[in-house]
Amino acid sequence: MIEEILKQEIEKCLAALYSATEQSIQFQKTIKDFEGDITLVVFPLLRASKRGPEQTAEQIGEYLKEKVIEVADFNVVKGFLNLEITQEYWYNQFVTAYNTDDYGVVSSVENAPTYLVEYSSPNTNKPLHLGHIRNNLLGYSVAEIIKASGKNVKKVQVINNRGIHICKSMVAWQDFGNGETPESSGLKGDHLVGKYYIEFDKNYKKEIADLVADKMELKDAEKQAPIFKKAQEMLRSWEAKERIVIALWKKMNGWVYSGFESTYKRLGVDFDKNYYESDTYLLGKKVVEIGLEKGVFYKEEDGSVWIDLSAEGLDKKIILRSDGTAVYMTQDIGTAIQRHEDFAFSNMAYTVGNEQDYHFKVLFLILDKLGYDWAKSCYHLSYGMVDLPSGKMKSREGTVVDADELMDGMVSTAKGIAKDLGKLDGMTDQEANELYEIVGMGALKYFMLKVDPRKRMLFDPKESIDFNGNTGPFIQYTYARIQSLKRKHNAEVVMPSAVNITAKEQEIIKLLTEFPAVIQEAAANYSPALVANYVYDLVKEYNTYYQNMAILTAESEELINFRLGLSVKVGEVIKTSMRLLGVNVPDRM
């Protein structure tokens, strides 16, 4: 990279001009209004030069222009030295990139550290919704980006398949289901179970209203509603492992698992290992005794176990209830330890919404106090919620934006737009349907991932599927254009040994050379948005070039080969970038 070359040469320069060593050398991109490819920030060097910023910049610039073959020229703007790099350097960089398969991606390094990425982790009482879509797409993309940075990666989830919320669906199905199944109803299993979760809530509210009408206090009515008491009794029966209840629980959860798998497949996400809350909720209990022995936890008179984190600016947190039952924190402690035993990971990222920020601060701190050195390498990928133009999602009243319905709607919208734009000429029905799916799902995924994960976002389905602007279809269409160029040329590209490149070509090459660093930065920051916005910038630059430059009709074979080769490499980087986002790109569009 040019920064490494320049850093070494500037160190020599500082030693020669000012007898200085070990100085802070800082680069930044040259501001677009000025000539140059890379800018040296001169201010940190003034103590060594004992001169003003402009004089120091001029002296360093003159030295580099004379001594470094990669530096063509320079200019000084106050305390900034803008360096122009030679065409030959950029062309050679491009040829290297062009001849590199899977450019930017680091193959898995032997003995590379293992990263665990947790995402999805749904409840089995309802189908996945819009919030789950952002969660799944973020977790999957982060895992793929970290893998592309050279690490070993394992994807995991905890399926929350036990508790009172599951029993609510089970009770409602028993009372109102009349033996309905996914096969008899034509509903996906998760939708069917979700239907009875809503049915429970509807009847629960009616019973509360009836009790309140009979002069019972609201708080008492909420506890005394017959259907709620049934759900509590079913939970007790489940914990006692009563055969009939366990059989019903397994049957209904099986319907949900099947439904989830179908949704995951369409989203294009996968997992290396599933953990189930019904297995993991007891895991943390054995850690409690260890924590008590170490003095990390303490026991109250009622037998409950706590940890006091007030010295760390937090508060007291219960670890085990007085009746000996585990809380979510207990479960998460045990699950984390179990995962380290399973995978010996060096780092673990939890993809969970920002409403759980406090929970993960406490979890990581407890694991650290228990003596697990890997706790400091646990990370909460805290993301903002998703809103729609019509407002926030609601909860169990049945008005949540269903993931499957949203995906259907995106594909349907893609179909309508593709027909209107006349992008289906010569396609069979099967090819057209595949295109609708690629474009609709690409629009959804890209729009979700282009936003910084930490930010709350507004998802506008119509805006996401626009064929212009910062959208998935815009990027997919550019890729398809490049594939069309390849088909028209229909010959092997022979890269010339040298060629004069235009300023626009140089800009595109510069962007291409940034791609390996973008992957590394995105992995380090757990941010697919860095990849998404990089590929959009690349596509914008290329589209301007495509519209204003002769490619297949250039004036010489050398230029045709170079320009087509440049286009092909841009296409490859588009495909790789979109793959890291979980997005497919079509060859025709």
pLDDT at 568 over 60: yes
**Amino acid letter, 18:** Y
> Which tokens is 366 given?
């407890």
pLDDT for residue 326: 82
The mean predicted confidence, pLDDT, of the chain is 94
CA dist 503 to 1, 35, 561, Å? Answer: 19, 11, 18
Show the CA angle centred on residue 360, arms to residues 359 and 361, nearest 5°. 95
Contacts of 297 (CB under 8 A, 6+ apart): 288, 291, 305, 306, 307, 319
Q: Find residue 156's DSSP bridge partners.
A: 118, 273
CA distance 396 to 352: 20
Give 303-358 pLDDT, tens digit per residue. 999 999 999 999 999 999 998 888 889 999 999 999 999 999 999 999 999 999 99
Give 385-420 pLDDT, tens digit per residue. 998 887 544 444 445 789 999 999 999 999 988 877
CA distance 234 to 244: 10
Section 175-195 average pLDDT: 97
Give 122-134 pLDDT, tens digit per residue. 999 999 999 999 9
Residue 138 pLDDT level (bands cut at 50, 70, 90): very high
pLDDT at 282 over 90: no
Return the SS3 of 391.
Answer: strand
pLDDT for residue 393: 43
pLDDT at 233 over 80: yes
> Which tokens is 242 given?
């009563």
Q: Find residue 82's DSSP bridge partners.
A: 39, 75
Which region holds residue 175: left if phi is over 0, alpha if psi is between -120 and 50, else beta? alpha
Return the SS3 of 417.
Answer: helix
CA distance 194 to 171: 12
> Which tokens is 395 given?
């909860």
**Amino acid letter, 429:** D
Q: Do the Cβ atoms of 201 and 222 come closer than 8 Å?
A: no
Residue 281 pLDDT level (bands cut at 50, 70, 90): confident
DSSP codes, 17-34: HH---S---EEEEPPTTS
pLDDT for residue 391: 55
Is the alpha carbon torsion for 403, 404, 410, 413 positive or negative?
negative
Section 511-532 average pLDDT: 98
pLDDT for residue 417: 86
Domains in the chain, ordered, with CATH?
2-85 (3.30.1360.70), 285-325 (no CATH)
Q: Do the Cβ atoms of 561 and 493 come closer than 8 Å?
A: yes
Contacts of 139 (CB under 8 A, 6+ apart): 117, 118, 119, 120, 155, 269, 349, 351, 381
Give 445-491 pLDDT, tens digit per residue. 999 999 999 999 999 888 998 888 999 999 999 999 999 999 999 89
Burial class (CB in 10 A: 0-12, 13-18, 19+), 536: buried
Closest CA to 407 of 267, 255, 532, 257: 267
Give 479-505 pLDDT, tens digit per residue. 999 999 999 998 999 999 999 999 999
Strands (E), 216-315: 273-276, 298-299, 305-308
